[in-house]
Amino acid sequence: MRRRPARLLSAALLLVGLLLPGTAALAAPAAATEVVVLAAAGGEGDEPQGLDPVPLEDDEFAPTDYEANFLWGAAVGLLVLVLGIVGVVGAAYWFLVAKPRQPERQRG
């Protein structure tokens, strides 16, 4: 029973070992013959060689003009809201808990 899985495994490894070098040999010439120049410097007049850049008006991938973030107003509003809530809770504690206890402390 153990011979069958071993034979299947060895056959699969042999098939992979035979196919991988063949596919690498087919892919290598295509990649080696294609030349892509990303950037170049030097040459005549130190002008960049290659394609001319697209004008900014015609470039669909150019970033848009800067717009101020609208969340700064929300941050200021939330800060005022949180400070107001803390003030209301503090005042409620002072008037409902701390102030009524003051006469008890003076008596005792």
- Condensed to tens digits (0 to 9), the pLDDT of residues 51-98 reads 777 787 777 887 777 777 778 889 999 999 999 999 999 999 999 998
pLDDT for position 85: 98
Among 77, 80, 76, residue whose Cα is nearest residue 88: 80
Residue written as token pair 């960049």:
48
pLDDT score recorded for residue 100:
85
* Contact between 76 and 70 (Cβ < 8 Å): no
Tokens of 107: 């008596």
What spatial distance separates the first Cα and last Cα of the chain, rounded to whole Å? 94
pTM of the model: 0.36
- Residue 38's closest CA among 28, 54, 49? 49
| Contact predicate 49/38, CB 8 Å | no
pLDDT classification of 13: cutoffs 50, 70, 90: confident
pLDDT of 20 over the 60 cut = yes
What is the rounded average pLDDT for all residues in the chain? 77
- Please, are residues 62 and 56 in contact by the beta-carbon 8 Å criterion? yes
Q: Could you tell me the two tokens for 81?
A: 């809201």
